[in-house]
Amino acid sequence: MMRALSPEQVVIVGGGQAGGRCAEALRAAGFAGRVTIVGKEVHLPYERPSLSKEMLISDEDESIVWVRPEQAYAEERIELRLGVTATSIDRDRRELHLDDGSVLIYDALVLATGARARQLTVPGADSVPLHLIRTIEDSRALRSRLSAGTRLVIIGAGFIGLEVASAARHRGAEVTVLEAADRVMARAVPPEISEHHTALHRSHGVNISLGTSVVSIAREGDAIALRGSGGETFVADVVVVGVGIEPNDELAREAGLETDRGVVVDAFGMTRDPQVFAAGDVARHYNPLLKQHILLESWQNAQNQAIAVAKVIAGGDAPYAEIPWFWSDQFGVNLQVIGLPSADAKTIVRGTSGQVPYVLLQTRNGRVLSACALNAPRELRFARELISSGAVLDEAMLGDPGVRLADIVRDVKQRKVPA
Ligand SMILES: Cc1cc2nc3c(=O)[nH]c(=O)nc-3n(C[C@H](O)[C@H](O)[C@H](O)COP(=O)(O)OP(=O)(O)OC[C@H]3O[C@@H](n4cnc5c(N)ncnc54)[C@H](O)[C@@H]3O)c2cc1C
């Protein structure tokens, strides 16, 4: 890659996981210039996965996972401008304008503005309190409303909606999940995993209603009435909306940078302006392994893409090239997904439906494309190696429970299996 970047001042917009890790990695890579993080939230950078899991369960232990302790920022001369929002970028002058009236000059700008939870837009949605889960405050507000007997309706059976369902049942709430699609987590996992998790939730007393869109919402005394697309009414004390995210890409778009539901960047996290980068949930980046632009909403991507961008700014030339990985914890079952599950791939199951541990592999022309593991993290690691190897494998062997994935990986490494 040809670059003429030798920055002295790096400004990172967004004090989330990607922003915090990017700053840390700049110092780790030897960057000695000025580093500033501008963050809208008042908190130090933190990780979000616990917000829909542990944090909702325990009143005593908030389980907030800080990216780094406060003193680390001071020790490494990373300036924190928290509770401040970046309002515009002047790319000609290399200025970032903030809502407190100040202006920061940059040589390299990293957009790590993440995403916000998508709002519900049906009639009546703005007339009742609806909970979204994206911040510490969101999680605290919901937790304070969940107790035994609370009637909770969750709109959307994605990862976050289902994790909230699991935590809420733990607190004794009566939980109903309304999902417009015909299966849960449909965007992210194959049908077999959806079926497993639907049964898992139902076995824990969650009422899951598939093929049900919410068409309107109204206040009904102290309660909230949700009208479903099938004409039925669901009554709730508390409503959580978990219908996806909107990348915070407005700053980039208004600055004339290319956006496509996310800031479009190359494999190095760079926009078409070599002084402006993006990482994390806001970045629609080119993945050289998958040979496509993708936007990922995951811990791994926030962490490692941000680190990769920092290294590039500090003078490195390695692209961010990883197989996507994601996890979710619901009712004591750890689900991990590696690769991008595809509707037209062949499915190979290792395990018994409805039971854990369970591993599902997807293949195309004998190559492993993706894997889902239920309470089987070790198996997932082997699946990752098979995906990375690109080896053409005997599908009967892959599905044979008598043949360990570990042994197949060993054979691939010893080149007994052609790549
Ligand atoms: C409830 C929840 C549970 C999750 N669970 C999992 C999980 O189990 N496994 C997994 O792999 N991933 C999980 N994720 C996804 C993972 O947490 C995200 O991918 C990650 O937080 C993205 O980090 P980020 O830094 O890119 O964005 P964010 O965390 O969204 O941080 C961006 C920050 O930028 C700030 N910002 C935005 N605009 C501006 C501006 N103009 N000026 C200043 N600051 C600005 C925002 O306020 C925010 O603080 C979960 C996410 C959520 C919300």
Task: Quickly list DSSP for 61-115.
Answer: ----EESS-HHHHHHTTEEEEET--EEEEETTTTEEEETTS-EEE-SEEEE---E
Centroid of ligand 1 to alpha carbon of 103 (angstroms): 25
What is the C-alpha to C-alpha distance for residues 411 and 407, in angstroms, rounded to an integer?
6
296 CA: nearest ligand 1 atom: 19
Name, in order, each residue with C-beta under 8 angstroms of 221's C-beta and a sequence gap of 6 or more.
none
CA 247 / ligand 1 centre spacing (Å): 10
Q: In this predicted model, what pLDDT tens digit does every residue of 298-347 receive, in sequence order?
A: 999 999 999 999 999 999 999 999 999 999 999 999 999 999 999 999 99
pLDDT tens string 213-239: 999 999 999 999 999 999 999 999 999
With contact defined as beta carbons under 8 Å apart, do 347 and 166 qualify? no
Peptide bond into 129 cis (omega under 30): no
The pLDDT mean for the chain works out to 96
State the CATH class of domain 9-116+245-313: alpha beta
C-alpha distances (whole Å) from 395 to each of 229, 342, 346, 374, 377 are 42, 17, 9, 20, 21
Sign (positive/negative) of CA torsion 354, 153, 66, 82?
A: positive
Quick: pLDDT tens for 61-114: 788 999 999 999 999 999 999 999 999 999 999 999 999 999 999 999 999 999
Please give the distance, rounded to the nearest whole angstrom, from the Cα atom of residue 166 to the centre of ligand 1: 21
- At 172 the pLDDT is 97
Is the predicted pLDDT of residue 419 greater than 70, yes or no? Answer: no
pLDDT tens digits along 152-188: 999 999 999 999 999 999 999 999 999 999 999 999 9
Q: What is the pLDDT, as a whole number, of residue 127?
A: 95
- 298, 323, 329, 330: which to mutate for ligand 1, most atoms within 8 A of CB? 298
Question: Domain residues of the chain, as ranges?
Answer: 9-116+245-313, 125-241, 332-413
Ligand 1, residues 38, 116, 281: which to mutate, most atoms within 8 A of Cβ? 281
Q: Which atom of ligand 1 is nearest to the CA of 38?
A: 43
Q: What percent of the chain has pLDDT over 70?
A: 98
What pLDDT shows up at residue 63?
81
Taking the whole predicted model, whether its pTM rises above 0.85 is answered as yes
Specify the long-range contacts of residues 273-277, CB closer than 8 Å, at least 24 apart.
273/91, 274/3, 274/4, 274/5, 275/5, 275/91, 275/94, 275/106, 275/107, 275/108, 275/109, 276/89, 276/91, 276/108, 276/109, 276/111, 276/252, 277/108, 277/109, 277/110, 277/111, 277/309, 277/312, 277/313
pLDDT greater than 50 at residue 2? no
CATH fold of 332-413, please? Answer: Enolase-like; domain 1 (3.30.390)
More confident residue, 63 or 14: 14
| 9-116+245-313 shares its CATH topology with 125-241 | yes
Locate the ligand 1 atom nearest the alpha carbon of residue 84 and give its number: 43
CA of 388 to the centre of ligand 1 (A): 27
For ligand 1, atom 53, the nearest C-alpha belongs to 134
Ligand 1 neighbours, Cβ below 6 Å, are 13-19, 38-41, 48-49, 51-52, 85-86, 112-115, 133-134, 160, 248, 251, 280-281, 297-300, 302, 326-328
Cα separations in angstroms, 254 against 13, 14, 249, 371: 15, 17, 9, 39
CATH fold of 125-241, please?
FAD/NAD(P)-binding domain (3.50.50)
Q: Shortest CA distance to 340 belongs to which of 190, 227, 130, 220?
A: 190
pLDDT category at 382 given cuts 50, 70, 90 is: very high
> What's the 303 CA to ligand 1 centre distance in angstroms?
11
